[in-house]
């Protein structure tokens, strides 16, 4: 019985680790890292700062998913984020939710 529970916990943990890795891969695949680092300022804002800014905002994931696709400027300064039409609606939402879960280190 104990082994079963341990195995179960192992599978749950490894499944969520894979989930997070897959989301990080989306950042790589869609070239987001050309402008964003997670914890260092690059051309665009640090992604963990984005998470902190919207931590208590409802509907933040949907709002950021839209911004990821359509780009824009003026929230973090004058620099412009170009539209990312190669990102599907579903992937934009996955990316937005992933970014919102990032923690300040």
| Residues near ligand HEC, by CB under 6 A | 30-32, 34-36, 43-45, 50, 64, 67-68, 72-77, 79-82, 84, 87, 95, 99
Q: Cα(88)–Cα(77) distance, rounded to whole angstroms?
A: 26
Q: Could you tell me the smallest distance in angstroms from the CB atom of residue 37 to ligand HEC?
A: 11
Distances (CA, A) of 89 to 14, 61, 93, 94: 27, 12, 6, 9
Q: Could you tell me the smallest distance in angstroms from the CB atom of residue 101 to ligand HEC?
A: 12
**Residue of 82, 89, 97 whose CA lies nearest to 31:** 82
Q: Which residues is 81 bridged to in the sheet?
A: 72
Q: Could you tell me the smallest distance in angstroms from the CB atom of residue 70 to ligand HEC?
A: 10
- In the complex with ligand HEC, the residue whose CB is nearer, 14 or 88, is 88
């Amino acid at each position: 019985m104990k082994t079963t529970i341990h195995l179960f916990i192992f599978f749950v943990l490894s499944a969520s680790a894979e989930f997070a890795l897959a989301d990080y891969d989306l950042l790589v695949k869609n070239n987001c890292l050309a402008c964003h680092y997670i914890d260092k300022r690059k051309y665009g804002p640090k992604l963990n700062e984005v998470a902190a800014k919207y931590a208590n905002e409802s509907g933040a994931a949907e709002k950021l998913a839209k911004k990821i696709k359509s780009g824009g400027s003026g929230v973090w300064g004058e620099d412009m984020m170009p539209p990312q039409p190669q990102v599907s609606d579903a992937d934009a939402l996955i990316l937005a939710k992933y970014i919102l879960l990032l923690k300040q280190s």
